[in-house]
Chains A and B, each alone.
Chain A
């Protein structure tokens, strides 16, 4: 089956630093990858849609200058949380689609970010 990995799985950082999270599709090519954020006991919220070779599409209310997304290849998308603050502490999850439509999404295991 399709496998998506995320790295790191957990990260603790100081306020004001930047954190990069990688999302990789291991056995398929993903034209589109999605980034989600989930706060404790809440639903997942789509942050942005990442398309290989083009700029990411951000959902309303998500600061594109704070959450930098790069989708440099068909198997790798990165999310960089710049100048992280405690309120950015959350569970970040990526997903990837093998095809062009939203037929099936394969989720990464998630990255738990704690900003002190």
Chain B
């Protein structure tokens, strides 16, 4: 039931791109993306509600493939401030919400 994220961890140099994937075994109504810094609560990044929807702002965007029950988060030209753990959150058609397994992202100079 808990969505599986990949990769589990990734290290990037400033300016490099990254893709984080979130895969669910259930039919989804929506996918949320969050970033959590160590010792802090998660910060909401974006929500995708429709199949095939793609959203983004600045250099962080995401897509949602409803048929494949998958979502991907795209980080381009990464900055040091992007470091943290990224979680997807999925709401299935039965109104159950689960956070994903998490992806640790470290951006180094």
Contacts and interface: CB of A to CB of B under 8 A. Distances in A.
Interface in B54-109: 87, 91, 97-102
A108 B42 CA distance: 9
Interface residues of A, number: 16
Interface size bucket, B side? 10 to 19
A44 B43 CA distance: 13
B2 interface: yes
Nearest to A103: B47
A31 to B, nearest CB: 15
B44 A46 contact: no
Interface in B1-58: 2, 30, 32, 40-44, 47
Contacts of A45: 99
A98 interface: no
Interface of A: 36, 42-46, 93, 102-110
> 7 shortest A-B CB distances, which residue pairs?
A107-B41, A110-B41, A44-B99, A43-B99, A93-B41, A43-B102, A109-B41
